Amino acid sequence: MKLLFQCPVCLNYSLEEPAYLNGVGSDEICYICGFQFGLDDYPDKDEGIVLWRTNWEKMGSPTVRYLSSEEKTRYYKVQQAQ
Ligand SMILES: [Zn+2]
């Protein structure tokens, strides 16, 4: 899986396709923040993105919940090393 495109919600490079092409959502779901482009941004794209990002940030570190066990181990090692 190649992830090259930046998610406009969580700002991670977590998308396989651009979130929007000519203003149309890709239907892809960001695996980090869970936002689906073309669905969760309805009816107002800009408002939806800001709202989702605010909620996402309030949830603390939800990123961890979406990581594989191998990635989690790496994440916690980084956390413990700090
Ligand atoms: Zn995202």
d(CA 5, CA 15): 5
Q: Is 66 among the domain residues?
A: yes
For residue 61, what are the domain limits? 20-81
- For residue 20, report the distance from its CA to the centre of ligand 1, in Å: 13
Q: Output the six-digit token pair for 17.
A: 């396709």
Q: Is 77 exposed, middle or buried (0-12, 13-18, 19+ CB in 10 A)?
A: exposed
How far, in Å, is the centroid of ligand 1 from the Cα of 77? 23
Q: How much distance in Å is there from the Cα of 34 to the middle of ligand 1?
A: 6
- CA of 63 relative to ligand 1 center, distance in Å: 9
24-80 per-position pLDDT tens digit: 999 999 988 889 999 988 888 999 898 888 887 777 655 545 556 665 565 555 555
Q: Is the pTM of this model over 0.85?
A: no
Domain total in the chain: 1
Q: Tell me whether residue 8 is in a domain.
A: no
